[in-house]
Each structure stands twice: as C-alpha cells, then as structure tokens.
Amino acid sequence: MAYYSQTRYPLPEDGNDYSAAVMTKNWYRTAGAGLDKWSSADLGQRLLRWRAALAPLLKQSRTAKFAHTFIPATVLYIQALALDAAVGNYVDVSPAPDPLTKGSDLIPHSYGVAEKVISLCWDLVAREDFARGFVMDIGVIPFLWTTIITVPWEGVKRDGIRILREMVPRVESVWDAGIVADAAEAFVNLEKRMGPI
C-alpha cells in the first residue's frame, strides 16, 4: 500500500493492494521513456534478431520429427514476443516488420505481437503434454502477466487471464497461474473502473 501513497492513483475502495501490477507497468513505462532514438532502434533490432533466431526452431517444432521440441521452442518464442509487446507499448522497438506478427499503419506492431503471445499460449495449453502442476522453470506465466499488465487492449488482457485459468494448477517456480489470474483480473477490473493506470 505504501507504493500508492507515492503515485497519483488512490487505493481502490475494494481495499486490494495493486502495487505489484502498478509497479510492473510503471517499470516498463519508465524503461521505455529512458530510451533515446538510437537505443530504441537498437533494442528493436535486438528483439527482432532474437525472434528471427528462434523462428526456425518454432517452425521446426511443428514437424513430426521435432514434435518433442514444441513446448520449449514455443515457450522461448513467447518469452521473446512478450518482452517486445511490453516494451513496444512505450517506445517504437520494431524498426523492421516481423513476418510472424501483424502490423500496419492502423494496427500497432505491439498489438500484433501481443496477439501472437496469446495465440502461442493457447497452442501450449491445448497440448496434453503441457504440465499442469509444479515446474521449476520460468515458462510463460510471468510473460503472460507482463503482457496483461502492459498492453492497453482489454480483449488481449481477458484472453491472457483465460489462458492462466486454463493452466491451473500450474506453478512455475513461484508463479502460480491461479493467483496470477486473480491478480490480473482484479487489475484489469480496476483499470476499467478508474481508467488506464
């Protein structure tokens, strides 16, 4: 609750402490604001190269011969895309188009990236071999959280929450899908009542 006293956002009447969500969103906002034109373009190129390096692995994992790599390849690509979607809402980090995501003058690049994060997460949870219990790795839960908290589109946020609920009882290290879904839903509802935070 202390964080709220330092922000322009009052503590909501429901008494819940949304400081973790606000801090996450503010971190990406201030990280993006601190980038100048050169470093913004450099970051965009680095993210694009990471996705370009992972794209063949993702495509290969869709073949019968490499089906055993589907989950790890998809998780890596989701992680790369989620970072782009989060930072891309505050700076232009995509100087070149990504062939695997949408983008036009009317649809911001980060919207297509966020949609791709959601689409790939649905692909993961639809698989029978996707673990629904405790795993030691950091897979997609924190990256879904970051996407939900940082993108401005409610439909994308709600889809991310539905995916988290579908994952329950999955826990990735300390990231519990059910708890994160509850926190994200409370935050999205708060944003709907109070406006963008």
Q: Which pLDDT score, from 0 to 100, does residue 100 have?
A: 45
Average pLDDT, rounded, for the chain:
77
pTM recorded for the entire structure? 0.74
Least confident window among 20-34, 37-51, 66-80, 158-172: 20-34
The predicted structure's pLDDT at residue 38: 46
Burial class (CB in 10 A: 0-12, 13-18, 19+), 148: buried
Instruction: Report d(CA 19, CA 162) in Å as an integer.
Output: 22
Question: Is-contact 97 110, C-beta < 8 A?
Answer: no
Listed by start position, the domains of the chain span 16-194
Question: What is the percent of the chain where pLDDT is above 70?
Answer: 66
Band of pLDDT at residue 157, cut at 50, 70 and 90: very high
CB 169 within 8 A of CB 178: yes
pLDDT value, residue 117: 94
Give the closest residue to 160 by CA, choosing from 150, 171, 169, 173. 150
d(CA 43, CA 90): 12
Instruction: Report, as an integer, the average pLDDT of 64-91.
Output: 85
Span 4-20, pLDDT tens digits = 334 444 444 555 555 55
CA distance 76 to 50: 10
Number of Cβ within a 10 Å radius of residue 162: 16
The pLDDT of residue 27 is 54
Q: For 100-114, what is each residue's pLDDT tens digit?
A: 444 444 456 678 888
Q: What is the pLDDT of residues 26-49, one digit of tens each?
A: 655 555 555 554 455 666 677 777
Give the pLDDT of residue 97.
46
Per the model's pLDDT, the better-predicted residue between 157 and 98 turns out to be 157
